[in-house]
Structure formats: C-alpha cells, structure tokens
Amino acid sequence: MSKEAINLDAVRSALAEACPGVRVAKIHPLDAGYTSRQWVADTDEGPLLVKVPVRDPDPEHLRRLIATTRRAAEAGLPVVRFRAYQPRSTDLDAPLLVQEYQDGTPANDAWDRMDPNQRMDFARDLGQLVGRMHRCSGPWFGDVLGTEKYPDIRSFLHALVDSALAQAPEDFTSAGRDRVSVAIHRAVGTVPADCGPSLIHGDLWRQNFILRDGRLACLLDFEHARYGDRFLDFGKLDEHIFNDFPQGRPVFLDAYDDVCPLPEDWESRVALGNAIHSMSMAIYFLRWTPKWAPQYMRELEEWMSTRP
C-alpha cells in the first residue's frame, strides 16, 4: 500500500484486528523514519506505535526486526516491547507491527539544546550501551534468524561488499567500481580471521536514541541489525555524532572499551567500517536521493587514497 493510500480509519481498523479488545481513543501519524509509516494510538493499554514498512514489504523484514530486538533485550539493552505482529494486515494489505510507544525525546531533537556536559554524558552512556550490545555474541555471521549464515568474518564482509557493489554503476566514484571493489576486499583480507560475530545495530544515528531526563533511555529500530563485524556500527556513529562532536569521541571510546575491550588494530578496523559505510550510503542514496550520494563517494575516495 502506498503512503498516500493509508488513512487513519484504515489504521484504526488494522489495530483492532491485530489487538482485539484494545480500545482506541485517538490515532495520529508520527513523522519518524524513512523506511516505514508510523502512527501513535492512545489506548486503554497505554500508547501504542503502529508501524507499516514502505520500502521493504517482505514480512521477513519485520520478523528479523522482532527477533533482533528481543536478542538485544536478552543482553539487557533498553529496547521496546512488541504487542502484535501480522505478516499481512487485512485492512492495510501490508505487514503490520504494533509495539509500545517510547515516551521521550529523540536525541536528534534534543541535541541543539544540550550543553557540553549533557553531550558528554550522552557520549559516555552511548559508549556503555554500544559496548554492551557488541559484547552480545552470535552463533554465526548473518541475520539473527539464521536464514543467512557465514562461517567467518571475512566471508561475511566479502559478501556484504559484493552485494552492495552489485547495485552500483560501473563509474561508481572517480576510481570506478572495480577499483573500489579491489581496495575494500584487500582491506577485508587483513581483518583477523578469528574475530567472532557481535550483535550490531546498523543504524546508530541520533534519531534512534530516546532520552528521558536528559539520559539515554531506549535504543530504537533494529531493522538493519544482525550478527556481524562490530566496527561496521562505527560508520554512522562517526558521521552522525562525532564528526560534529569530536570532543565526545574519546569519552565514548573509553566507556566502550571498559565494557567491550578494543583490539590493538581497532583504528584500522574502524577505518574499514567507515569505508564500507560510505560505500553503502553512496549506493543507497544513488537509488533514493541522488543529491546526497556525492559526499559519501568523496569519503570513500579519500579512504582509497590512503591505501597502499
């Protein structure tokens, strides 16, 4: 169902189907995220978030989201709880997810009002939270449900790079797609083969952190999470938080290292993770919002210029 076709009456009816007996007072749309439509329903069971995917309507996408979020909850992370899931809603003709609504302020909305000390507290909380998530190990590399499995970290990263570059044009960046492929695959070959899989989020930007009383209270949206190379998560952290707040990065790293110790080669691993992030974002935005792709291609080119 297209964005334009979804109306509040249909959402109300779909919620009644998914959660029989729940009494709804009112529903309003929530302007959050790009990959789904979301509404908040005030009910006799408290506020509920109704979510319908737009870009990826495959029901398995939401199943992975639910499974990964629950895995994060087992690790003690502050995450949402789910109320209902339907592979295909009758009223919306699309997958439907109902979860508790997390009251609070997204860190992105609060950022400009935060003073330096509050931002430092956020960086410290963030380091502890991400460290706890990455300390949560997996039985394989791939999605939590096990439909995609790789035997080791290099196989996982090689497949990730090949899958992304398969969607890129031949003239991708000034170097061309083939040279990008060679450079990244060569760097992947230097990653220690005995690194185990960690639970990674895949979308760590400020909008997915909920604050209450100025402190980090909930981590949202595990849509892109999987068992993988933990340093892939550093790409979005650097882009969306520490590029504009570099003084918070050492605080984050110290807190992270206390929970999930950094290896001796962590800087090169972070650089590779950031390069893969730049590559993935450039390809993504070439498809969805081309005007934002050049900055990521420039970042990738800068990384390639440092390679032997």
Query: In a 10 Å sphere around its CB, with 0-12 CB exposed, 13-18 middle and 19+ buried, how is residue 12 labelled?
Result: middle
Q: pLDDT digits over 233-290, tens only?
A: 999 999 999 999 999 999 999 999 999 999 999 999 999 999 999 999 999 999 989 9
Cβ neighbors of 233 (< 8 A, separation 6 or more) are 130, 134, 200, 201, 202, 204, 273
Q: Given this model, what pLDDT does residue 33 score?
A: 63
Query: In this predicted structure, which of 18-32, 69-83, 156-170 has the lowest mean pLDDT?
Result: 18-32
Residue 211, both tokens: 């604050």
DSSP line for the chain: --TTT--HHHHHHHHHHHSTT--EEEEEEE---SSEEEEEEEETTEEEEEEEESS---HHHHHHHHHHHHHHHHTT-----EEEEESS-TTTSS-EEEEE---SEEHHHHGGG--HHHHHHHHHHHHHHHHHHHHSB-SSEE-TTSSSEESSHHHHHHHHHHHHHTTS-TT-TTT-HHHHHHHHHHHHTTS-TTPPPEEE-S--SGGGEEEETTEEEEE---TT-EEE-GGGGHHHHIIIIISS-GGGHHHHHHHHHHHSPPPTTHHHHHHHHHHHHHHHHHHHHHHH-GGGHHHHHHHHHHHHHT--
For helices 153-165 and 177-188, give the axis angle rounded to 10 degrees: 170
Confidence class for position 4, pLDDT limits 50, 70, 90: very low
Compute the distance between CA of residue 281 and CA of residue 67 in angstroms, rounded to an integer: 25
The yes-or-no verdict on residue 107 having pLDDT over 80 is: yes
Cβ neighbors of 41 (< 8 A, separation 6 or more) are 11, 12, 15, 24, 26, 27, 47, 48, 49, 50
Q: Given this model, what pLDDT does residue 31 score?
A: 78
Kindly state the average pLDDT of the residues 15-43: 90
Compute the distance between CA of residue 150 and CA of residue 214 in angstroms, rounded to an integer: 40
Kindly state the average pLDDT of the residues 136-150: 96
The yes-or-no verdict on residue 148 having pLDDT over 70 is: yes
Confidence class for position 2, pLDDT limits 50, 70, 90: very low
Specify whether the CB–CB gap between 240 and 230 falls below 8 A.
no
Kindly state the average pLDDT of the residues 73-97: 94
Q: Given this model, what pLDDT does residue 225 score?
A: 96
Number of CB atoms found within 10 A of residue 89's CB: 21
Compute the distance between CA of residue 29 and CA of residue 18 in angstroms, rounded to an integer: 18
Of the candidates 246, 269, 301, the one whose C-alpha atom is nearest the C-alpha of residue 119 is 246
Q: pLDDT digits over 49-77, tens only?
A: 999 988 778 899 899 999 999 999 999 99
Q: pLDDT digits over 183-227, tens only?
A: 999 999 999 999 999 999 999 999 999 999 989 999 999 989 999
Domains of the chain plus CATH, in order, are: 8-100 (3.30.200.20), 105-305 (3.90.1200.10)
β-pair partners for 142:
149, 227
Q: Given this model, what pLDDT does residue 32 score?
A: 66
